[in-house]
Amino acid sequence: MGCFCSYVPEEILVAGNILPVRVLGSHEPQNVTEPYLFGMYCPFCRDVLAQGLKGRYDYLDGITLSQSCLHIRQSFIAWREHVEVPFNYYIYMPNKVQTKAATPYLKTEFEKYKAHVEEVVGKELTDDDLDRGIAALNRNRELMHKVYEYRKGDTPMLTGLEAMYMTVSGMWVDKDEHSAEMEKVLEQLPDRQMIRDTGTRLLVVGSENDDTAFIDMVESVGATVVVDDHCTGTRWFWNSVETGDDRINSIADRYIKRPPCPTKDWEERWRFPHILQLCKDFNVEGAIVIQQKFCDPHECDIMPLRKTFDEANIPSLFLEFDVTVPIGQFKVRVEAFLEMFGVDDLF
């Protein structure tokens, strides 16, 4: 099942023995989405739709969007109309999560989604099925947390690039298989010898980001990405389902309370204290704030987020992403940013 956002309740899919697959782009220039999406929609959602139009996700049996932003919704709608796929479902995930009504409301929407999944798989999902789905996701999240713990020390035991491979692969691979691989990694991490200097410890934060070439470049010029706030990283896995008798209610509560996307971060700002806590816990020295070009939700956050960093004495660098990232140009900017920390090219 292709998932258009990290707000799709994967627990319900796994309960139905369905493999959730996060639909991501390919970072290649394309010319197939112009008839369906405005050019000023974010490059990520255009890249996503291009993959569908080019048949690169032709193995999907269905697609699901859980409402987050207008751009990805348009991508979903165009896919639904113009790419052949047997099943599709749009979840009315509320953007106003800061109200007592949010969890009961989302529970009713997830009940409807469960009925849809039952139709797809042709059988009823029992409490045991839901328990299995919840347990698989919770175990996977817990293991990712344990791996992230190894990024907190003076010498992080894995790079930001490796962490990105771990989280993004977890969005495509069977959860139990992914968890089994992480258990193997966790056995080896304590004895790992890192043959690189850590350099400046960075947080990356902002729009969707699975650009491995970018992270690799940042880590090649005297820095280590020690933590992130992305929907392909911590925002996706940070909190678990607290199990209760009403499974769907528990799942809904998890998605209401997870670290929010800016589309859902109002009236109070829940994101900023959470991001500052990540900075503290992972001993962050500087932040790279990225925005997919035209990404309205994150664009609106840039000013207050950078002000928050300023007030906490955390220097930040802003970079705007497109489908392809100008690595050479960004390298110069990242190097100039790192000079603030007194770090020369270490590698």
List, in order, residues 6 or more apart from 160 with CB less than 8 Å away.
202, 204, 215, 218, 219, 224, 225, 226, 228
Nearer Cβ to ligand SF4, position 52 or 222? 52
Distance CA 275, CA 23 (A): 25
CB of 71 to ligand SF4, least distance (A): 4
Beginning with the edge strand found earlier in the chain, give each strand of the sheet holding 316-321 in spatial order: 223-229, 200-206, 286-292, 316-321
User: Given the rule CB under 6 A, which of 39-47, 114-122, 180-188, 307-315 is the region that contacts ligand SF4?
Assistant: 39-47
Q: Tell me the H-state helices in the chain.
A: 10-15, 43-53, 70-82, 102-121, 127-149, 160-170, 175-188, 212-218, 234-237, 247-257, 271-281, 296-311, 327-339
- Environment class of 112 (CB within 10 Å of its CB; exposed 0-12, middle 13-18, buried 19+): exposed
1, 8, 42, 166: which one binds ligand SF4 (CB under 6 A): 42
Using CB under 6 A as the binding criterion, the count of chain residues that bind ligand SF4 stands at 12
CB of 323 to ligand SF4, least distance (A): 12
Does 295 engage in binding with ligand SF4 (CB under 6 A)? Answer: yes
Does 208 engage in binding with ligand SF4 (CB under 6 A)? Answer: yes
Residue 129 tokens, joined: 């099925």
Q: What 3 state SS string does 269-298 have?
A: CCHHHHHHHHHHHCCCCEEEEEEECCCHHH
Does 175 engage in binding with ligand SF4 (CB under 6 A)? Answer: no
Does 139 engage in binding with ligand SF4 (CB under 6 A)? Answer: no
CB of 292 to ligand SF4, least distance (A): 4
Phi, psi values for residue 45, rounded to 5°: -70, -30
Nearer Cβ to ligand SF4, position 216 or 299? 299
44, 148, 272, 337: which one binds ligand SF4 (CB under 6 A): 44
CB of 303 to ligand SF4, least distance (A): 16
User: Given the rule CB under 6 A, which of 220-228, 275-283, 294-302, 335-343 is the region that contacts ligand SF4?
Assistant: 294-302
CB of 225 to ligand SF4, least distance (A): 19
Q: Which residues pair with 318 in a beta bridge?
A: 289
CB of 155 to ligand SF4, least distance (A): 32
Residues 231-290 that bind ligand SF4 (CB under 6 A): none
18, 72, 91, 290: which one binds ligand SF4 (CB under 6 A): 72
1, 49, 63, 69: which one binds ligand SF4 (CB under 6 A): 69
Rg (CA), the chain: 20
Nearer Cβ to ligand SF4, position 45 or 147? 45
Exposure b/e, 190-214, CB count within 10 A at least 16 = b: eeeeeeeebbbbbbbbbbbbbbeeb
* Interacting residue ranges for ligand SF4, rule: CB under 6 A: 42, 44-45, 69, 71-72, 207-208, 292, 295, 297-298
